[in-house]
A and B are shown apart, each in its own frame.
Chain A
Amino acid sequence: MRFDEAKFLPGGDQFILVQFGDDGSIDLNFLALGLTAALKHDQTRGVIDTNPSYNSLVVEYESDDISYADLQVELERLIGGLGSVEELELESRLAYLPVMYLDLWTRDCVADYSEKISPREYDPDFVARVNGLEDAKQLVRVHSGTEHWVVAVCSTPGLPLLRALDPRCAITSPKYNPPRTWTTLGAIGVGGLSTSIYTTPGPGGYNLIGRTPVPLWDPRQCHPIFKDRVVLLDAADRVKFVPIDAEEFEYIEARVADGSYEFNITAYQRFSVGAYKKWVASLNADGKF
C-alpha cells in the first residue's frame, strides 16, 4: 500500500531513505524510479547519488550544500510533481536475453547443494509446485512469457532485480536457507518476488531455473556495448528472456568470447504506467500459459 505521504528516514549524516509504502506493490517501485528520474532532471542542490529499490529510494547528499530538512522539502516538492502513479512515464529500454532453461550447470549447482549442505528437490520442480504450475516445462513457458521489469540494479555491480510485468507470469518462492556457497556465473534465479541473474559466481539464495551466456557487466569494457557503461541494465529497463537450447548457448558463448556477439537491446522508449495498468486490468488473471 502506498502511504498517504512518503516517509523520510535518516541514514547517518549523508543519507535519507524515502519510503513510498511498505509492501511489494509494483506501483511503489514506479514511484521510486519516478523520483530518481525527477532528481536527475531537477539537478537538486546537494544530491550526489541515488539508490532506488522495491518501494523506496536512498538519496545521498552533501550536507555542506543542503540540510536534511531542506532536502526533505525538495523531495516533497518533486514527489508532488510526480502526480498520480498512472501519470508516470519512465525511460525504458527492452533487452532480449537468451536463456537456456533447465540447464545442466544450474542442475549441478542444486545437486551439489543437495549432496553437501541439505537435500532438496530440483529447483524448477520446487518452484513449479509452490506456484501451482503443472511442471518445470510450464514454469519455463510462464517465466519466458512476459517482459520483466528491472526494479533495481543493486547489491553487486550489474545485478538486476526483476519482476514479471504480466501478472499471469508472477512467480514467488522461498529462498534457500541456508544459502548456497557457490552459484554458476549467469545463473537465472527466482526468490521472493524477484528474478535475478548472477553477475558473479558467488554464494546465493535464489532458486535456479536457467542460465544466460550473455554478460551483464564488463569492468574491462571490452565489448563495444560496454564502451560508455560498465553494466548492461539500469532500473526501469525491461528484460525479455528468450529460451535457447544447448547448441545455441554454445554458439552465443563463443561469440561473446570473441567479441562478435550482437546484444539485442532497444533504444529508450517511454513506458507509460497508466497504459500498463490499463492493460493489466484488461487481462484474464486465470489465463494459463
Chain B
Amino acid sequence: MSKKKIRVVHYINQFFAQIGGEEKANILPLMKKGPVGPGLLLQKLFNGEAEIIATAICGDSYFAENIEEASKKLISLITPYKPDALIAGPAFSAGRYGMACGAICKAVKQKLNIPTLTAMHPENPGVESYRKYTYILPTTTSAKGFKEVAPILSSFCLKLCQSGEIGFPEEEGYIPQGFRVNVWANKRGAARAVEMLVHKIKGEEFKTELPMPKFDRVSPAPAIKDLSKAVIALVTTGGIVPKGNPDRLEAHNASKYLKYNIAKVTDLKSGEYETAHGGYDPVYANDDPDRILPLDAARELEKEGIIGKLFDYYYVTVGNTTAVASAERFGKSIGEELKKAGVNGVILTST
C-alpha cells in the first residue's frame, strides 16, 4: 500500500511569485494551485513523499501593514485545501517578508494546528518576533543560498510531518526557539563543572551550559520637581496582603499582582495584614506589615505636606523565584495603570 502523500501549502511573497517587485507589494492575499517559484524545487526534493497542493501569496507591504487581517484572510483561503503542513519563504534577509512568514506560520499553527516552518537569515526581525511559535531554519542573506537551504527545508518538513518529534537545535539545525528544557545529562553537574574548569584553565575549548542573557537596563524617570504636589503610590514585591490572603497570592513564582484600597487606612496592623511571601522569614513582617509596605511613614509624609497625596491603592506581588518574564509583565501593567490614574511617583519596596 502506498503511503499517503503529505499535503503542503507554501507561502511566498509577490516577488517570489513572479508577480512583481516593490510596485506590487500591496497585492492582497491570493491562492494558486500547485507549486510556484521556489516551490518547484521543494516539490522536486520531496521526491513524491509530499506535494505542494497550493501556493499562498501576499504582497509584503500589505501583510506588514495589516498583519491580523492578512493572516485571517490567508487562513480562510488555505483552510479548504486541508493541508498537513505549511512552509513559508525562505525570506532570507527581507524584513517585511520575514515578518510575514513568521506571522502566517504562527497563525496557521494556532488555527489549523498543523506543523509549520519557515527559513530566513538569523538577523531577520521575523526571527526574534516569531521563533517561539514555529521552526525557523537559518539561511544566507540573499536568495543565492536557496539551493543550499531547499533540501534542508524539505527534509525538515518531512520529518516534522512523519515523526512529529524534533530534537534540539544543534542536531536539527533550526534557530533556537528560546525555551530552556530540562534534560538528563550523562554526568552529574559537579563532574561537568570540574571538567569545564580544567578545560578553561588550560585554554581549551569549553561550552557554557547557560549563556548570559542581555540584561534590560531601565533608565530612571526624571525627578519629580515638586513632591508636595505629587501623587505617590506604594508598590511592593514583599507580598503584603489582607489577613488570610483572600485572593490567594502565591508564595512563590507569582502568576499575578493585586491591588488593595488603602484610602481609609493609616497603619497596617498586625492581624489585619500579613505577608504571603514564601522567601523570607515572615515573623517581623507579620508583626508589623508597615516594615514591608511603609504605609504609616507615607501617611506621615502626606500629613506633613512633604508629598501631595498618597494614592488610594497599593499594588502587591511576590518576588520569590518569580520568572523575570512575569515580573516584566506585572511592572509594565502596573506602570500603565498608575500612569492612567495620574500617579507621579512610586515607592517600590522589595524583600
The reply to whether chain A is a binding partner of chain B is no
A interface residues (Cβ-Cβ under 8 A, vs B): none
Residues in chain B within 8 A of chain A (CB atoms):
none
